[in-house]
Each structure stands twice: as C-alpha cells, then as structure tokens.
Structure 1
C-alpha cells in the first residue's frame, strides 16, 4: 500500500507539471502566432506602411483634381482648360491635333 500512494503522489506531481507545461506552451504559441502576437504585429506594421503610401498617393491625386477644378471656376476660367473640357465633352478634334486611340 505504501508504494501505491508514493506512485500516486509522483504521478500527481508529474501530471501537474505536464499541465503547467502545456498551459505555458499554449500561451507561448499564442503570443507568437495569435491574433495579437508578434507575427500579427509585423503584418500590421507592413499594412500601415502600405496604407500610408496609398494615402499619400490619394492626397496627391486629390490635390491635382482640386487644382483642375479651380481652373474651371466661374470667376476665373482658364481658356486652355475650358477648351480641353469642351473638346472632351463634344468629342471634337482639331485637324491639327494628334489623336491616339487607346483600346479598352
């Protein structure tokens, strides 16, 4: 009987150590590969860089569009911009213009 209780206490201790090791391993793996882990942080950093560059491109595009719109304001109309828009709207081409057709 004495040997069984000793074996039982040893197995209980080993089981506790195994459960603790499994729990630590679980949290360790999740700290590395989980939703908010180290890999996710690196991916988020790369996404931040990509979105920052896209934001800069879109700001530049918007500034160019605002500049073109400002040329068409009724208080001061740029003749070249007005001519370009009229030709585009009416599909008019000057005989001296070079036309390049882009395939869709």
Structure 2
C-alpha cells in the first residue's frame, strides 16, 4: 500500500470521526478522535491497513489527559497516532487489547 492510499483510506473510513488531523514531520500523522471510536479506529488501522501497534502512551496536560495509540506502517516509514482526549474527571477509555 502506498502512502497516499493509507491516508486516503483513513480519511474515508474515519471521516467525521476525526476531530483534528495533524501532520507533524512528514512521516507522522496525528488523528484526534472521540473516545467512543477508539476501538473502531484501532481495528481499522491494525487489521484492515496492516499497521503494527507500537505502544500506547499518556500525557497529563493542564486541561485533559491525552491517550496516544502509536501505529507504524513500517514499509512506508510512517507513524499514525490516534489521540483521545479525556477529562480528568472521566479518565477511562475502552481497551484496544481485543484488536
């Protein structure tokens, strides 16, 4: 799969679920999505697009908790990160372990 196809598929499949799309260095993409869509998005990237799950990380910001799910498209040298923002009062999100 070529880079343009991966990006096009992501935008088509997740579409309106993407709250924010960022391209930081050319090889990294950050997609902010609602917490309730994390399983669907992770499943699509991992199973349908064939990305490798790297790691999940968290950032405690002044306004919210950010949970970041990092996936690698090794053959393209690209990393896609799904970002979920959680209020500090409700810091729970469904696990992507079933994916």
TM-score normalised according to structure 2 size: 0.22
Structure showing the higher helix proportion among its residues: 1
Higher relative contact order (CA 8 A, sep 6+): 2
- With structure 1 as the length reference, what TM-score do the two structures score? 0.21
